[in-house]
Amino acid sequence: MKLDDRISTRIDRELKQSAVKVFERLGITEGEAIRMFYAQVNLHQGMPFGVKIPNRETIEAMKEGESSETLQSFRRFSDLRKKAGV
């Protein structure tokens, strides 16, 4: 594969540093990670992950999760399963 094109972009420093740590753990470079992302976009003919605007129900659930006072807690997983009917 001939690598003859370039991209250039600005990115938040902390986001980049955090991502680079993940790449290092995976044993890949930033360039390899970007090429992998582009390959996945090409393979999927779109974003390789869902990109959606959350609906009202999802937004309400996210807000509910931000406040631990409103969340139920369970001592045992079996109690949670019983409550969920599973």
Residue 71 has pLDDT above 80, yes or no: no
- Structural domain including 61 reads 13-84
- pLDDT at residue 32 in the model: 95
Q: Name the domain count of the chain.
A: 1
Residue 6, domain member (yes or no): no
- pLDDT at residue 74 in the model: 87
35 falls in which pLDDT band (50, 70, 90)?
very high
Classify residue 76 by its DSSP letter.
S
Angle between helical axes of 13-26 and 30-44 (0-180°, round to 10): 90
Residue 43, domain member (yes or no): yes
| Locus of tokens 């582009």 | 38
- pLDDT at residue 65 in the model: 80
Residue 9 has pLDDT above 80, yes or no: yes
Residue 53 has pLDDT above 90, yes or no: no
